[in-house]
Chains A and B, each alone.
Chain A
Amino acid sequence: MPLLEPRPTPSARMRLLSPLIAITLTLAVGSLLFLALGKNPVEAFTVFFVQPLSSGNGWSELMVKAGPLILIAQGLAIGFRARIYNIGAEGQLIVGALAGGGVAIALDGVDAWWVLPLMVVAGAIGGALWGAVPALLKTRFNAEETLTTLMLTYIASFTLSYMVNGPWRDPEGMNFPQSIMFGDPALFSPWFEGMRVNAAILIAAVASVAFWIFTSRSFLAYQLTVGGLAPAAARYAGFSAQRTVWVSLVLSGLTAGIAGVGEVAGPVGQLNLNISPGYGFAAIIVAYLGRLNAVGIVLAGLLMALLYLGGEAAQVALQLPAAITGLFQGMLLFFLLGADVFVDYRLKPRPKPAYA
C-alpha cells in the first residue's frame, strides 16, 4: 500500500518550504558527518559558512563563484520549465571558453577596447552552437537531450584538452597543458586591488533581471512553460514544440558559453584544464533550488557559491578532502528532490486492520 497520496492541489507553502527543509537536512546530516570525522560540528560550520564571509576578499570570492552559477542557472531554468533537460551546461561552458579564448589568443597583442566584448560574443555563439547540436538531434531524430547534452560535454572537454595540449599550447609554458596568459585587453579587470571580483558579475546581474522580465512577462516564456506543464495543451494551442526545444537549448547554451568566457577572461586568465570547478553541473542544482525562478536562482547561486568557498576553507582549516564540496552539493540536491515530492503529495493515513 503506498504511503503517499496526491494532494488535491499542489501545496504552495511546501514549494517555498522545500528548499529550506533541504538546507536544514543537509546541515543536520553534515553535522553527523563532521562528528563521524571527529570534528566539532559547530566549529566546522563556522569554517564552512561564516569564515569565508568575514573578509572583503571572501565576499569578492563569493561574487566570483556566484556569477557563473547564477548566469548558467538562469538559462537552464528556461529549459527546465519547458521540461527540456539540458544537463550539459558544463560542455557549453567549455565551448564558450574555447571560442572566447580563441579570440583572445588570435588577437594577442591587439590593444583595443573591443577585444573583450568580442570574446563575450564569441563565447555566447560557441555555447549556443553547442546547445544547438542536441536541439537539432532532438527535433530531427527525437534523440533524448539528457543523453546528448551530457555526451557532448565529454566531447567539449576532450576538445579543450586537445587544444591546450596541441595547437594552443603556450610555447613557453614548460609543456603544461595551458594556453598563453591573456593580455589585459582580453581580461575583465578586477574592481579592487588584490581581489578577483570583476565586471563579469554585472553580466550575471543584468541577465537575472532580463530573465526575470522574460519569464514573468513574455509570451514566448509562457509558451515554453505551457509546453512543460501540459504538452497536449501546447499542441492544442498551436505552440511549436520544436521552437521550445531550440529556444531552451540554445538559450541555456548561450548563457553557459558567456559564463565560460567570464572564467577564462577572469579568475583563470588563460585556457587550461581547470577552467570550471563543475559550474555547469552545480548550476542544475542552483536552478532547482531557486525554484526555476529568476530571483530564487540569485539566492540559490549565492548559497551554492558559499558551499564552494566553505569547501575550500574546510580543506585548509580542517584538512577535509576536496570531495566535501561535492558531498554537500549532492546532499542538497538529494534532500531537495525528496522534499519536493511533498509539493504534490502528502502522507497517507495508515488503514485500520483488516477485520474489526
Chain B
Amino acid sequence: MSTPPPPFSGPPAGTPRLELSGITKRYPSVVANDGINLKVGPGEIHAVLGENGAGKSTLMKIIYGAVQADAGQIQWNGREVVVANPAEARRLGIGMVFQHFSLFETLSVVENIALALDEPFDLKALAIRVKEVSTRYGLPLDPDRLVHSLSVGERQRVEIVRCLLQQPQLLILDEPTSVLTPQAVQKLFETLRRLAAEGVSILYISHKLHEIQSLCHSATVMRGGKVTGTATPSRETPASLARMMIGRELPVCEVPAYTGIATPALTVSKLSLVPDDPFGTRLQDIELEVHRGEILGIAGISGNGQAELLAALSGETTSTPDSVKLVGLPVGHLDAGRRRKHGLAFVPEERLGRGAVPSMSLADNATLTAQRQGLVKKGFLRPKAAWDFAKRCIERFDVRCGGPGAAARSLSGGNLQKFIVGREIMQQPIAMVVAQPTWGVDVGAAAFLRQTLIDLSRQGVAILVISEELEELFEICDRIAVLAEGRLGPAVPKAETNAEKIGMQMSGLFAPADKEPAHAAA
C-alpha cells in the first residue's frame, strides 16, 4: 500500500477543471462550509481530508448539486456555473460514487445502470458498453448478474462504471475504501490512476492518511467547516497530516498486559443459522471463545455474516441454548434483555434507531438497557434515577451534549457512541460485544473509545469487537479471527498475523482448505 504516487505533471497551463471560491453553507445549528476555496486541475487526484463533521460531504454535495450553497462561486472549466441539481451536474460532466450504494438488489447490473441514466437507452447495447468500459478500466463486471449476488466491492464497481459511462471529467468518491479488502483497495487505486492519466480529475474524500499518501497528488484539509491547509501528501508524514486534520497530535492507545486469570467468559459453539432475510448470510458452524481480560477481534467485510452473528450473540435472534454460553451458562435461547441480565452487554453498529431511540432524551435512552440499575421499580419508571444515571455516564465518558435531557439524535456520532458504550459499561458486564466501535467517529473520540475498551478488558471483561477497520483491530485486539461467507476462521494472536494474511482470508480463502472427498462412498 506504499507505492509512491506516479509523477504528477501538474495541471497543464491554463484553467483548472474545478475551482471553488468562498463556498459557504449554513445550517440552523452549524456552519457546514465556511468560505471554502478549492482548486482541482485536469488529471489531478485531489484528496479532501478531514474528520467526520468537518464539512467534506456537504462540500461534495454542493459540487454535485444535491445541496445549494448560500454563498460563493463554482467555476467549471473556467466558466461560472450554478449546479441546481445532480442531473445538471452529470450534464456538466461531474460523477459521484456515494459511500452508501443505491442499488436495487433484485435487478441486474445493467438494469441498475439503465435506471440511473438521464437519457433513453437500449438495454442490449448498454450491456455491451458496460462490459467494454468495465474491462477497459480493470473493473470486470458481468452486466447480467443480479446485484444481490455481488460482493460489496463489486457493487462499488457498478457505481463507478455507472459514472464512467457518462464520461465524466470529474469523479467524486466519498470514502470509497471503507467497504473494501486491502487487495480490492489496490485494484481500485489502479483504476483511479488510469482514469487520472486520461485526464479525469478525481476528488477523493477520506480520513485514511496512508491511502491519501499513496494515491493523491494534492490534498485540501478541512476542519470545522473551514480549510485548514493544503498539502502535497507525498511530502508529508501521517503525523503532520493528522495535525492539520485534528489540530493536535494523533493520540496513541496504551495496551497494558492483563494480570488476572483468563477464564472463558463468552463461548459460541456449533452455531449455524439460516437467515430470515433472503439476502442475508447463512452462519455455518461458528466456534469462538472470548476470555476475561482479552479483546477478540473479528475482521471481515460487512455482508459476510456480521449482522447475523451480532444478532445471534446479542439475543436479537435466538437459537439453541448451548450455542451461546456466558461463563458456562447456556443463553442461546434467551432474548437480548435476559442475556443482559446475565452480564452480556452489546453495542450495535447502528447507534440511532437501534442502540438509542433518536427522538428520546439520553435519560430515557438510559432506561432502554440499564433498567436493572434501579431505573425501574415495580413496573414504574424512575425518571430521577434515569436522569442521574445518564448524567453520570455523560460525565464519566466525556459525552459532549446538552445534558441528560438532550435528544439522542442531537448528538454527533462520536458522542452518542460514547454514551452508548458508557451506558453498557456502567452495567458492569462480564462480556461485551461491540460492533464497529468507531464507525463515523472522529479521531479524538475514536482514540478515547479504543482506550476505554482496552481498559475495560484489562479489568477482566471479555470483549468481542467486530470491525471493518483492520488497523483498529490490530491496535486494540489480542487475537483476530476473520468472518467470510458466514464462516469464522480460527482466532490468531495478532503478533502471528498481518494485514496481508487477514486480507486473503477476508476474500474467503482460508489457508488450509480441508474439504471432504468429493466422491465419498455412502
Contacts and interface: CB of A to CB of B under 8 A. Distances in A.
A353 B88 CA distance: 11
A230 B354 contact: yes
A351 B85 contact: yes
A240 B350 contact: no
Given A219-B371, A226-B357, A233-B357, A353 B82 contact: yes
A222 B381 contact: yes
A232 B354 contact: yes
Contact of A220 (B88, B353, B364, B379): B379
Contacts, number: 86
Contacts of B398: none
A9 B408 CA distance: 10
Interface in A1-55: 1, 8-10
Nearest to B316: A235
B interface residue count range (under 10 / 10 to 19 / 20 to 34 / 35 or more): 35 or more
Interface stretch (B230-238, B298-306, B332-340, B510-518): B332-340
A237 B358 CA distance: 14
Nearest to A346: B28
A interface residue count range (under 10 / 10 to 19 / 20 to 34 / 35 or more): 20 to 34
Contacts of A233: 353-357, 368
A237 B344 CA distance: 12
Contacts of B379: 218-220
Contact of B336 (A230, A237, A356): A237
- The A interface, classified by DSSP as helix, strand, loop or mixed, is loop
Contacts of A351: 68, 84-85
B82 A235 contact: no
B129 interface: no
A236 B376 contact: no
A240 B339 CA distance: 14
Interface in B349-380: 350, 353-360, 364, 367-369, 371, 376, 379-380
A240 B318 CA distance: 13
Contact of B82 (A219, A240, A352): A352
A10 B359 contact: yes
A10 B357 CA distance: 14
23 contacts: A8-B27, A8-B28, A9-B409, A9-B410, A218-B381, A219-B379, A222-B367, A230-B354, A235-B316, A235-B336, A236-B314, A236-B336, A236-B369, A237-B337, A237-B369, A238-B335, A238-B336, A238-B337, A238-B338, A240-B335, A351-B85, A352-B82, A356-B80
Interface of B: 27-29, 68, 80-82, 84-85, 88, 314-316, 335-340, 346, 348, 350, 353-360, 364, 367-369, 371, 376, 379-381, 407, 409-410
Of all A-B residue pairs in the complex, the 10 with the closest CB atoms, nearest first, are A238-B337, A238-B336, A232-B354, A230-B357, A219-B376, A238-B335, A230-B353, A354-B84, A237-B368, A235-B316
Given A233-B355, A236-B346, A351-B68, 16 more contacts: A217-B381, A218-B381, A219-B367, A226-B368, A230-B354, A230-B357, A232-B350, A232-B353, A235-B316, A235-B354, A236-B348, A240-B335, A351-B85, A352-B82, A352-B84, A356-B80
